[in-house]
Structure 1
């Protein structure tokens, strides 16, 4: 009887160990996921609107971001983007090295007091899911929400008026 309990215990614990190992993402699966995300974001246009906290009326402003190129960097969760940012009077192309974390399988663009040349310092959390994006942003004392759709950018869209 003791032998049977020992065998059953061994089988149960062996099964738990195997399952734990199978559910833990490996470095190579993270590399694949990172490369897939970089490929997905390259050539994408984020088209949407943003709000400003404290505004007396709900009047979302238009915004547009075109990512002409995205590549996974060697450092964990880091990506290099070539992006054209358009909102208000801003229309500028900038290189960005940003952190993109994952909440499960959902990528979350993560800016922590990031200085963007010619624009200022920003904090943001923007999640991407099924060709939609939404999140929060902060620029100095102003902040708010942003949301919109992801589209395939035209090949020369980030080179307009050059």
Structure 2
């Protein structure tokens, strides 16, 4: 191999190594959740599993001019909430609103805004209910968000209620 060929091969190898390092830098890092994030996720499971979301939703755009949207009741009995993978969670829920009363397992994406979990749904179909997009956040004993369907949308909000254990015999004295 002559000197010119040797320099060409050396330059090519250097360029390939450089390009490889950039390609590797663009690969998503697979890191384990921090202890703090694991605590947040455990608190989210504890807050919602076995809880009932009781609140209201609105349908915006149909109200008379100058009138606020009418509040309609909703109720979600969350049998179980658990993490499936890095971003998806299983919500087993009984959903009651209007004349609907169905129990379905739902795999929903959950993102985190700091320490606040947010369900982020885009055009997701729910059997018997329709296709929806939504952003719903959970904080302390409340939930709030925005929803939209095929031809309407609105707000939703309410409280997260947990039933007291049956063997709780404490009294206030």
Give the structure-1-normalised TM-score: 0.74
Higher gyration radius (CA): 2
Q: Partners of 1:48 and 1:101 in 2: how far apart?
A: 22
Contact 1:66 1:153 in 2 (8 A): no
Say whether 1:142 aligns with 2:152: yes
Contact 1:137 1:145 in 2 (8 A): yes
Distance change >3 Å, CA 112–CA 82, structure 1 → 2: same
Say whether 1:27 aligns with 2:38: no
Q: Partners of 2:87 and 2:38 in 1: how far apart?
A: 10
Q: Partners of 1:145 and 1:39 in 2: how far apart?
A: 25
Q: Which residue, 21, 43, 67 being the options, matches 2:78?
A: 67
Residue 40 of structure 1 is matched in structure 2 by 47
Residue 23 of structure 2 is matched in structure 1 by none
Q: Partners of 1:81 and 1:141 in 2: how far apart?
A: 25
Q: How many residues align?
A: 130
Q: Partners of 2:124 and 2:87 in 1: how far apart?
A: 15
- Structure 1 residue 154, shift from structure 2 partner: 7.1
**Deviant stretches of 4+, over 6 Å:** none
Q: Which residue, 64, 69, 92 being the options, matches 2:102?
A: 92
Q: Deviations over 1:84-136 (max 9, x none)?
A: 11111111000001111111111111111111111111100011112111100
Q: Partners of 1:128 and 1:144 in 2: how far apart?
A: 17
Distance change >3 Å, CA 83–CA 153, structure 1 → 2: farther
Higher strand share: 1
User: CA RMSD for the aligned pairs?
Assistant: 1.8
Structure 1 unaligned residues grouped into runs of 5+: 1-24, 156-162
Residue 110 of structure 1 is matched in structure 2 by 120
Give the structure-2-normalised TM-score: 0.69
SS in 2 for 1:40: helix
- Structure 1 residue 34, shift from structure 2 partner: 2.1
Q: Deviations over 1:14-50 (max 9, x none)?
A: xxxxxxxxxxx95242344323312221011111111
